[in-house]
Structure 1
């Protein structure tokens, strides 16, 4: 098995006597263990008369097995052992995965095996779970990606299983009795849940021998055999479904053009990856690129190449573009420019040095990738077992070993207008049909003959050129020596206007680093109007950086420039060697940033579109957004900022951006493979020149609104579903209060989901969470429902909380200790990679946890909490007891006022202006 340079894990591939394909991973650094089972069965295998059955089967496996008949038995057990379980059903695969603390892994694996091999399929549970399936379907009716996906299904070959409806709903399942559904589920399960049809991956700190013993103990009894299907599917598209244009009207405002070329299955070419070079050259964003040309014409704002659906006999190669209104009007010219780019690639792009460069980048990505969490690793590897031989399980996605110019040419030969499908996704189009299930308006028609002819013989565009050799290709892998003084963050320099923290990595030992540069701006105190302009400005800066530093981004130097409530931040990451130099160049560009009126207008249009679309988000997301605005003084709602962005003008933008940069404070943190001297030199550059002249203020306080009563806030929503979010603000923010909040939420999370989602079927989106704002703790409980009104949802939440005292009191002493120990372990669990550790240390700096030990203090505090303390704390749900609360609920324009408890917030900005602030 090919293993990367810095990989400290040990691997063992084996096949059990029953045919089960297994990969075991011993990760000595892991504090959690994980498992994933991937089954070669998805919605392609649904019976034609009962589409969605595989999805229903996925749901039913969680609702009891012969050995563990209680619904959600595994989820309940994992909640006591620091883990959780989840699943998905795709086109040709289904996947089930979980994680747990190492001490609870063996018993969890036993339950996992029973869940997969001996499900109950109880008829009563089937009838109940249909409500959840239907609620999930209704939720996805408002999802533009799902709506677009259905149009795709309706316009492909109806004899191909891709055309099947994958979700299922009451209309389909309601045709059958619970007994009939039970029989179909049993038949589907018996046919496909066989060892030869499945793969299993385990990740743990256990030895490989111990893992193999568990694997054989719990999975050797799976039925033998493999479901031998020829998978001789017909072509995905009929001839009349190629060379066509689909006009599609989305729910949200969008202007997208997706050009799809129908290819054969390309997985067999994974060693040479012929599409890798093509997608790289089309998707280039630097000077001379297709995107740069389209931007200069004012036609497009972003472009990606290489995605698209893929299966056992098909692959769509997609080129997807976000268009401007002008680009939407000139979509034919945009497509012709794409074919000019393809012609240029045919003539100049298929060269050995370009392949060598892509090969080198693939090797770098393989050698230096961050180790994922145990559950993510198990999920990924279980899937890979279906697609790669053992020697390439780890490397198959990354490495390219053979330059195959004829194969690249073969792929390019299929990228023709006659083998193309255009999806034009625009508002207010003329359409003549609606996709079934989702009612997506669309039309399909052949592309004009003259247009196809022009695409076959594209004109040469002088501005287009292929990228030069990448200057960031060379990576210094010689690591710096670690100085024991910098194993925790230390301030290298500190003034009233700037703090620069530095920490070296002594564990992951890769030539990488993470750099955070966070600027507070005095101007944000001016309010929503300045913040509206800040959105436009940061979007313009990020787009310029994307263009100017695109070569760096594909060479493993990543960057993100974004707005936050106090100002804006630049975060860079990846290989450390040239990162300080890149960051210095970016900061110089940010300070000197100049932009044209066209750039401003394009960024403004994109922000308006994004803000308008956010108003159409599903109700529960709208509630969370408003809660964030409510709790943070320097945050403003989309409703308040949207008119300001719409009225923004170019001259005022220049004025506001000058204000934004006039008085700044910088908090910086460098963590990774840098020497003290190099970091000191970079820190000194920040204290000199143009940037230093703008560092004039101290850090802005991160305050939080004090909820001094029980409030309610109506949130306008477009979707029909009702939704409520009940948020409790903890009385104080000391370690004990934080620990009580975390422990209480964890104690209530599983029973809340089980009672209100699984048993009462109130909705598909049901849950709770620990939700601190600006370091002040709190917790929330939410439900989104397609069938119950808000008053009912609120009553159910309050009834649950009222009964929570009895529920906590009834927990057995062993479970009580297990829960506390599980949470305590999670808080101090080891970081899986440099980026995760950097993020944790950066958060500690922001929280002024300058001993960097809050997780340890919280862990110790949780272990010390008594049941009586938690019960007393929970009384705050039902009496004031120091708690403040706010009930957020969705409302539609045609709804009358609802009789809900709490002091109504009529004017959110006015309420915040008059509210007491914490910290």
Structure 2
């Protein structure tokens, strides 16, 4: 009888526990109609929940997952810092790692993750903080429990404060000579001081040393609320098991009913609008940046009109803004971005990497950028560019590759915080419709009087004295009005007929079918050698495992000139820079269409790599091969490429000491690898004549090594080889004459 009573109570407890769990969450209907077509990923199962405390949960069960991972984010960040304690949010992030009531040992979480082949990290952004880890599957439950207690019963032990203050201080110190950080700190100092962006978000020991532990806990309890949290779970475990873990561990995180951060103040300062900020860099940089604060309604604009403007200005073509700047020898590169910087605020930025001539003619560069913007005001943006952007976003989701578990949960949580979980990830990835009205409204707001200009360059070259010093990094800067002549010119709203809209992208795939030859002579462990001659060796592997419409080409060119000497390495670097510049419109177009080309080198090879959608990959390779030794380099072109390489070599010597040490070590172990210092010294003794002699002798004798794999047939692979041989196979560079890599053996 006693046994039956025990069984009854066990049954009753199980029922009550089951019902209790059921009442702790709500299953959310998935309203995203995006589908994954990658065969290795399409069997993933997902579940969307909202826990009773308001926490959003996105669970992905994937039997092919190599690790389990989790990331949790909260909409509380550095913009929430109290005025008297800059860096509070960042410091709170550090302190949450230092133990909870259930796991009081401050080293427990780190040790448990690292002892079980895991990775962990966290970061604090202006409006959010993220915590993430990955770990072996069998230890996922225990790791998840440890993470959940960060938000249920953290101890904030005062004895750990001094150590974590040191860690925060070190984090700030290592960033002091980082140019991107320095520019960001200057931008804070000149921004609207009523806006929280102006705060010292990292913090250091000076700003945080007097913080009372009670204040830290109070800040945490008033800013970390489950209704402003999102959690992503990824594992090979079943959905039901993962659901039980999540509900059990995360439902008790307190919900204080916190509202999302809403800031009325503008980020940019009215006082400095339309002015140029000159900043002295640590590295040898020459960058012009322009940024505009967008109307708050466009931060979550479902038409993604700002992103379309950025896409249009950067999409590769021969008559684009950047190609016009290059023809005039004013710029090397250009990027246009739209960044949600926090809350309901976003910035649109244009960044131009200047040549020496561009730095001397900065007004002309600025005017060209505004001419391109004015062109859009007059012609608007054709709908085919919108459809290009949308079709590639959809295709990239459908055929997404397997992503590292740690990165996968981190990226999903960042985005999940901003989108209703029911539609996620559709609204993050795709626009609802094309809106010419929104596009025009944004373009009309991109005036010079609304812009904040930055010129990051050596003041010796700009000849502008710097009279200010940023408080925390000591970066030198000054603020000046634009010249009256430039203001007058920009006020005319001139257009430029030489800067044109992109034509439809020829690289956009229209066919993503998987080729299915009757016979496949290859297997993942046994690729077919389809060429073996004095001219080269080519391997072919038809993909029957991943079944995606993508290919990977790797082509290595051996040439007698590639002898491993430092001079040959430097000349090869200049050649690759020149080749990439000549075919940059093609590269930009291909990358916008999901085809990613690259040209690199090592001591004895020049390498061409192409990865992406298969349909137009061979056409892209043809375009590269057409130019590989047929393009002309003028003395003016050479001077620009030389200057760019010089800056790169020079900046390599200001990298972190560990990177420089690795470079020296690699040189000792493999003597054919040149040091940063030796390459710079050699470059100083190379001139235009040396380069032309080198270029004219290239590819007279070659040996080609290649690996062609993915969604292509044997016949297509053989055709690719014939194209390569026709262009590069003048005379063979016989294997007996190939250079051998020497390796230093430590005994």
Q: TM-score, normalised by structure 2?
A: 0.91
CA contact (8 A) 2:375 2:496 kept: no
CA distance in 2, matches of 1:122, 1:206: 35
Shift of 1:79: 2.3
Which has the larger displacement, 361-370 or 437-446?
A: 361-370
Residue of structure 2 aligned with 1:667, choices 705, 710, 717: 705
- Counterparts of 1:139-288 in structure 2, within 5 Å, are 139-174=174-209, 176=210, 180-228=211-259, 231-265=262-296, 269-288=300-319
Q: Which residue of 2 aligns with 1:426?
A: 457
Q: Which residue of 2 aligns with 1:880?
A: none
1:486-513 per-position Cα deviation (integer Å, ceiling 9, x unaligned): 2222322223542211222223322111
Q: TM-score, normalised by structure 1?
A: 0.74
CA contact (8 A) 1:604 1:646 kept: no
Q: Which residue of 2 aligns with 1:865?
A: none
1:393 equivalent in alignment to 2:411: no
Residue of structure 2 aligned with 1:56, choices 88, 91, 112: 91
1:572-614 per-position Cα deviation (integer Å, ceiling 9, x unaligned): 0111112122213312321334322222111110011111111
Q: Which residue of 2 aligns with 1:87?
A: 122
1:512 equivalent in alignment to 2:550: yes
1:469 equivalent in alignment to 2:507: no
- Counterparts of 1:826-905 in structure 2, within 5 Å, are none
Which has the larger displacement, 334-343 or 79-88?
A: 79-88
CA contact (8 A) 1:273 1:400 kept: yes
- Counterparts of 1:775-790 in structure 2, within 5 Å, are none
Q: Which residue of 2 aligns with 1:706?
A: 745
Shift of 1:291: 0.8
SS in structure 2 of the partner of residue 118 of structure 1: coil
Residue of structure 1 aligned with 2:650, choices 612, 618, 622: 612
Q: Which residue of 1 aligns with 2:329?
A: 298
- Counterparts of 1:109-120 in structure 2, within 5 Å, are 109-120=144-155
CA distance in 2, matches of 1:266, 1:369: 30
CA contact (8 A) 1:362 1:400 kept: no
SS in structure 2 of the partner of residue 223 of structure 1: coil
CA contact (8 A) 2:85 2:207 kept: yes
CA distance in 1, matches of 2:111, 2:203: 27
Shift of 1:230: 5.4
CA distance in 2, matches of 1:499, 1:279: 43
CA distance in 2, matches of 1:238, 1:655: 54
CA contact (8 A) 1:270 1:397 kept: no
* C-alpha distance 117-599 of structure 1, shift in aligned 2 (>3 A): farther
Shift of 1:406: 0.5
Q: Which residue of 1 aligns with 2:440?
A: 409
* C-alpha distance 463-55 of structure 1, shift in aligned 2 (>3 A): same
CA distance in 1, matches of 2:560, 2:384: 50
Q: Which residue of 1 aligns with 2:390?
A: 359
Residue of structure 2 aligned with 1:581, choices 596, 615, 619: 619
Count of matched residue pairs: 704
Which has the larger displacement, 105-114 or 515-524?
A: 515-524
CA contact (8 A) 1:523 1:663 kept: no
Shift of 1:238: 3.3
Shift of 1:195: 1.4
Shift of 1:689: 4.4
SS in structure 2 of the partner of residue 437 of structure 1: coil
CA distance in 2, matches of 1:116, 1:694: 66
CA distance in 2, matches of 1:531, 1:659: 15
1:527-564 per-position Cα deviation (integer Å, ceiling 9, x unaligned): 11111111111111122222234322211111011121
CA distance in 1, matches of 2:672, 2:246: 53
CA distance in 1, matches of 2:297, 2:632: 44
Consecutive unaligned residues in structure 2, runs of 5 or more? 1-31
SS in structure 1 of the partner of residue 561 of structure 2: helix
1:381-434 per-position Cα deviation (integer Å, ceiling 9, x unaligned): 222221112243222332223111011000011101111111011102411101
1:486 equivalent in alignment to 2:519: no
- Counterparts of 1:547-586 in structure 2, within 5 Å, are 547-586=585-624
* C-alpha distance 229-492 of structure 1, shift in aligned 2 (>3 A): closer
CA contact (8 A) 1:522 1:697 kept: no
SS in structure 2 of the partner of residue 85 of structure 1: strand
Shift of 1:170: 1.9
Which has the larger displacement, 654-663 or 380-389?
A: 654-663
SS in structure 1 of the partner of residue 350 of structure 2: strand
- Counterparts of 1:731-810 in structure 2, within 5 Å, are none
SS in structure 1 of the partner of residue 472 of structure 2: coil
SS in structure 1 of the partner of residue 193 of structure 2: coil
Q: Which residue of 2 aligns with 1:25?
A: 60
SS in structure 2 of the partner of residue 203 of structure 1: strand
CA distance in 2, matches of 1:302, 1:639: 25
Q: Which residue of 2 aligns with 1:324?
A: 355
CA contact (8 A) 1:270 1:396 kept: no
Q: Which residue of 2 aligns with 1:655?
A: 693
CA distance in 1, matches of 2:632, 2:115: 55
CA distance in 1, matches of 2:215, 2:253: 20
Shift of 1:472: 2.1
Q: Which residue of 1 aligns with 2:8?
A: none
Q: Which residue of 1 aligns with 2:28?
A: none
CA contact (8 A) 2:58 2:232 kept: yes
CA contact (8 A) 2:509 2:613 kept: no
CA distance in 1, matches of 2:55, 2:200: 30
SS in structure 2 of the partner of residue 513 of structure 1: strand
RMSD over aligned Cα, in angstroms? Answer: 2.0
* C-alpha distance 233-479 of structure 1, shift in aligned 2 (>3 A): same
Shift of 1:182: 2.0
1:349 equivalent in alignment to 2:385: no
Shift of 1:687: 3.3
CA contact (8 A) 1:363 1:399 kept: yes
Q: Which residue of 2 aligns with 1:100?
A: 135
CA distance in 1, matches of 2:142, 2:441: 52
CA distance in 1, matches of 2:227, 2:284: 46
Which has the larger displacement, 440-449 or 697-706?
A: 697-706
CA distance in 1, matches of 2:610, 2:311: 22
CA distance in 1, matches of 2:184, 2:728: 50
Which has the larger displacement, 136-145 or 379-388?
A: 379-388
